[in-house]
Amino acid sequence: MISWRGPAGGDGEDGPLSPNAKDHPDFDGKGYKRRLLTLEDYNRHAEHEGWGTRVREDLDFARPELKVLRDLWFEIADRKKATPARADFDARVLKPYLPHVGLVDCVPQASGRSRYRIRLQGTELARLFGEHTGRFIDEYFPRRNLVAWEMGYDVAIDAGRPVRFVQKFALPLISHLEGESFSAPLAPEGKSARGLLTALYVKPKEGVIADAG
């Protein structure tokens, strides 16, 4: 049962501070280093830029695997009365979904906004996007694509709870695919960075014949 919703997000650089401000990777003790995003902010920007991705609040996933991950995140949050941590999702728990799973670190910076680093990349994600485990996304994404990925991670961090994305990919090698993904924040533990648990499943776009090779 989905009941835990977590702390409310802030309203941006000019709005009130979020109740979880001290846990936010871009809160410097006085304010935020970037404008916080709502789901509506993301979708407006995506539409303006012509991106094929939208973020949904309903969490009504089509893929049964994503429904299981959604329910597991909320079950843990309900039990702990807090945001789940990386340790709550060990290899045993994630084994059925590992090819499609990514773990992303949100690493605060001394100056400027936080950076996102790929901590774990499932084999299916590596097949689609290349192997980037251990790298920051700003080290390999071209600037024209980087903003979309940063904002996608930002909106999940800022929401403080899982979000659902639906995608129609435009990257040349995967432009024949569409996808559905789960993205949920993870609490920092010790010296570890706050993170994200993600999972992506893809299929050919409607009317596109799958590549038999």
CATH number of the domain where residue 167 is located? 3.30.450.20
Q: Would residue 20 count as lying in a domain?
A: no
| Segments forming the whole domain that contains residue 146 | 41-202
Contact 35, 12 (CB under 8 A): yes
Q: Would residue 48 count as lying in a domain?
A: yes
pTM for this prediction: 0.85
Number of domains in the chain: 1
Q: What is the mean pLDDT of each run of 10 residues along the chain (213 residues)?
A: 42 41 82 92 95 93 97 95 92 95 94 94 94 95 87 94 92 85 91 89 77 45
- Cα gap 153→157, rounded to integer Å: 6
Q: Would residue 121 count as lying in a domain?
A: yes
pLDDT in the model for residue 197? 97
Q: Would residue 136 count as lying in a domain?
A: yes
Q: Would residue 3 count as lying in a domain?
A: no
Q: How many CB atoms lie within 10 A of CB 14?
A: 9
